[in-house]
Amino acid sequence: MNYKNIQTVEDAASAIGVPLLTEEEHGNLLCLPKSMARNNYLHYLLTIVCRAINGEWEPDWYSEEYVGQIMYYMPGRQGLAPISSRCGLGYLRNSCGPVGTAESCGMSLSLKDYDLCRYVIRQFGDLWIEYLTGIK
């Protein structure tokens, strides 16, 4: 499937053949308190989008070639320019308030190339911003 045909979360879920849960269904399934449910739901939606956009691509964790493999992810800084990461694990570090914030997402939100990352930012950037900031 051409990734540009995936324009909504519903399109993404259909492309990979997974049911799209409502926010309430997702929260109930994980037994999450309401204060945590929204952020986890947004991660769920973004994971579906990234898996659909990536198609069959998955990083090869067991190959020596994996070392140095570049993954792209949607950054949390203004301007939403795609950046790359050579790490496979995610973390969020804030050393100096909003000026010195750096972040990395885990593998579930990584994209295989720069063009896919740009597309996801343009098409699903509102979900990403809410996921990172909590602001709708």
Question: What is the total count of domains within the chain?
Answer: 1
C-alpha to C-alpha distance for 104 and 28, rounded to whole angstroms: 28
Percent of the chain with pLDDT over 70: 63
C-alpha to C-alpha distance for 108 and 131, rounded to whole angstroms: 14
Which residues form the domain of 20?
Answer: 3-133
User: Is the predicted pLDDT of residue 119 greater than 60, yes or no?
Assistant: yes
Instruction: Give the per-residue SS3 of 99-133.
Output: CCEEEECCHHHCECCHHHHHHHHHHHHHHHHHHHH
Q: How far is CA 130 from the centre of its chain?
A: 12
Averaged pLDDT score across all residues of the chain? 76
CA triple 28-32-37, angle to 5 deg = 90
pLDDT per residue over 56-103, tens digit each?
887 666 666 655 566 666 654 333 444 444 333 334 444 454 544 444
Percent of the chain with pLDDT over 90: 38
C-alpha to C-alpha distance for 107 and 89, rounded to whole angstroms: 7
pLDDT of 132: 85
